[in-house]
Amino acid sequence: MSPALSWAEIAPPIFLALMGFAMLLYVVLDGYDLGVGMLLPRARADERDSMIASIGPFWDANETWLVLGVGILLIAFPKAHGMVLGALYLPVALMLVGLILRGVAFDFRVKAQDQWKPLWNFAFFAGSTLAAMSQGWMLGRYITGLQTGWESTLFAAVIALLLPAAYVLLGAAWLVMKSEGELQQRAVRWAKLAWPPVVLGMGLISLATPLVSQTVRERWFAMPEFIALLPIPLVTLAALVAARVMLNSKTVLGRLCWLPFVLVVAVFVFGAIGLAYSLFPFVVIDRLTIWEAASAPEALAVIAVGCAITVPTILGYTIFSYRVFRGKTVALRYA
């Protein structure tokens, strides 16, 4: 009978899973409202208020998951935090500038006079685009293990352009679900335009990750693991194809308006599962494992108590807010 695992052995995987869960929720929840922000210039002036209203109750709280994920990285894996943020200092700073710009623009456009509202609409678009591109650059650099060289830089630059397309697809699918009439029809067209770059981006990540790391390559292409893991890319591809088929169906404007959004979320979820399998047990691929990067077991025990309180609270509030504001978006009104 094998001996029981110690807290020092099981705590790092628990915190890694919790951090991954928080980051996945951030990408999905803040991803759609970043996508809506990037779509603002494509809408008519009378449609922009409806687009903003669709994300109004959620967008600020969605960013809480980013704070939680980075917080867990800092306190549970301090060595990895220093390595990752040290290498990604500039894109992190640019992302924060973009998120701050979004927040300022969102609040100022509420009270702006008509001649100033286009300025704040552009600021909201610019902040959303800057944040999305910065996140794409960081994802590309992280997948390549923070390596230097023109190949890694080129890959990060490509992902910096393609991740915003994924957010646009998610944002357009959100608008299909939350809007009606001409705006909903426009959202369907926007989603169709964003679909090909998303397929390209998923394909590049799937191809590049095994090329970057021999560990990942052996993990995915060894037998029988290859057969066992085949459902992950197949289900991801099926969800992408199903989303595209739904966008061509008239039912997407009616009772099945929610289905494209759910399918795109499924693409993000299965993509995250594949990435997690590729990276584990590394925090930084082929450079730092979770046990090497983890805080002392005593510190992790204290952190666990805090997470046991904060995570259910944030999750409960998130579920509650989405339940309260479910359904189609109503006209935007300011007091």
Nearest Cα to 70, choosing from 122, 101, 30?
30
pLDDT in the model for residue 1 = 44
What is the structure's pLDDT at 202?
Answer: 80
Other Cβ atoms closer than 10 A to 130: 21
How many angstroms separate the CA atoms of 125 and 224, rounded? Answer: 47
| Under 8 Å between Cβ of 328 and 180 | yes
Architecture field, domain 14-324: Up-down Bundle (1.20)
Determine the pLDDT at residue 3: 61
- As given in the structure block, the two tokens for residue 4 are 């029981």
Rounded distance, CA 333 to CA 124, Å? 19
CA separation (Å) from 112 to 45, 129, 136, 243?
14, 22, 32, 38
Q: What is the pLDDT of residue 293?
A: 86
Residue ranges of domains in the chain: 14-324
- The pLDDT tens digits along the chain (335 residues) read 446 778 778 888 999 999 989 999 999 988 898 999 999 888 888 788 888 888 878 877 788 888 888 888 888 888 888 888 888 889 999 999 998 998 888 878 777 677 778 888 889 899 999 999 999 999 888 887 777 777 778 888 888 888 899 999 999 999 998 888 888 899 999 999 999 988 887 887 777 777 766 777 777 777 787 788 888 888 888 999 999 999 888 888 888 889 999 999 999 998 888 888 888 888 888 788 888 888 888 888 988 898 899 889 989 988 888 888 887 776 555 45
pLDDT for res 238: 92
The helix (H) or strand (E) run that includes residue 289 is strand 288-289
pTM over 0.85: yes
Alpha helices for the chain (secondary structure H): 7-39, 45-55, 59-62, 64-76, 78-87, 89-111, 117-143, 150-178, 181-212, 214-221, 225-229, 231-247, 259-279, 290-293, 297-324
Residue 289 forms beta bridges with which residues?
Answer: 282
Long-range Cβ contacts of 304-311 (<8 Å, 24+ apart): 304/11, 304/14, 304/15, 307/15, 307/18, 307/72, 310/68, 311/18, 311/22, 311/68
3-state SS class at 327: coil
- 286 contacts: CB under 8 Å, gap ≥ 6: 145, 213, 214, 215
Q: What is the pLDDT of residue 192?
A: 92
Torsion angle (degrees, nearest 10) of CA 323, 327, 329, 333: -50
Angle at which helix 181-212 crosses helix 231-247, to 10 degrees, equals 160
Residue 284 CA: distances (Å) to CA of 26, 29, 153, 154, 235? 20, 25, 17, 19, 27
DSSP-assigned states of every residue in 79-91: HHHHHHHHHTHHH
Q: How far apart are CA 87 and CA 4, in angstroms?
A: 37
